[in-house]
Amino acid sequence: MLALLKKEISVFLSSLIGYIVISVFLVAIGLCMWVLPMDSNILDGGYAGIDALFVMAPWVFLFLIPGVTMRSFAEEKKTGTIELLLTRPISDLQITLAKFLACVLLVVLALLPTLVYYYSVYKLGNPPGNLDVGRTWGSYLGLLFLASGFVSIGVFASAITGNQVISFIVAVILCFFCYAGFGYIGGSLLSSGTAGNFIGQLGISAHYASMSRGVIDTRDVIYFVSISTLFLLMSRTSLESRKW
């Protein structure tokens, strides 16, 4: 499994995919936070905080992460190397986990440079350091959990198809529904009390918003671990179905 993980990471870093993902993410977020005349512009807003990063990152990830995960299994199927991969002395679950962890590490690499934004705002505060540190780190943790959920969905979408474009489209649709779909259904279609709240809590956005407040609730952690586990297990089942 470790050898496959190293291989996946080296493939990302030896091609343009990884660098394009990191660059697009940083440029998009940077423009919205520092350059474009938007409400999220820190210099125009005069507020020491990087909330704009955590508000916009999920929507950027909604397209970037499926772009990364679409090749996980779809490319292996297209080139025929999936058969060789499945004959290796590792389980289908280990193969799935290796693909998943490689994509998560790429997301972490994309997030690391944003610490420059954090440091800049930290210094720009009046007085310097006038920043809600606990909320910021809670938001980073929530964003990492959210990205892990999106990655697991993307890996599943790649596992069920041999076409990268279809994998990308399926992953975007599933990620969007899991992130905003439940909240829309619960808030608009079932706005009557308990039922609407329950449906809303099934979505990723509700738990991500909770962690973004800087409060690490075990229910939110369990939710993200559960959704990632669910889609990874479905990915493994999809691989196993080739042997039936």
Range of the structural domain that residue 158 is part of: 2-239
Placement of tokens 């970037």 in the chain: 64
The Cα–Cα gap between 21 and 240 comes to 30
Question: Alpha carbon of 177 to those of 123, 156, 172, 174: distances in Å?
Answer: 38, 15, 8, 5
Q: Judge whether 169 lies within some domain.
A: yes
Q: Judge whether 48 lies within some domain.
A: yes
Q: Judge whether 19 lies within some domain.
A: yes
What is the model's pLDDT at position 192?
58
- pTM reported for the whole predicted model: 0.88
The Cα–Cα gap between 34 and 2 comes to 39
Q: Judge whether 244 lies within some domain.
A: no
Q: Judge whether 123 lies within some domain.
A: yes
Q: Judge whether 206 lies within some domain.
A: yes
Q: For the chain, how many structural domains are there in total? A: 1
Q: Judge whether 143 lies within some domain.
A: yes
Q: What number of other Cβ atoms are within 10 A of residue 120's Cβ? A: 14
The Cα–Cα gap between 151 and 190 comes to 29
Which string of b and e fits 31-68 if b means at least 16 CB within 10 Å? ebbeeeeeebbbeeeeebbbbbbbebbbebbbebbbbb
pLDDT tens-digit profile, the chain (244 residues): 777 777 777 777 777 777 887 888 888 888 777 776 666 666 666 665 677 788 888 888 998 899 888 888 887 777 777 777 777 778 888 888 988 998 898 888 888 888 888 887 777 766 666 677 777 888 889 899 999 999 999 999 999 988 889 999 999 999 999 998 877 776 665 555 677 677 777 888 888 888 887 777 888 899 999 999 999 999 989 887 766 5
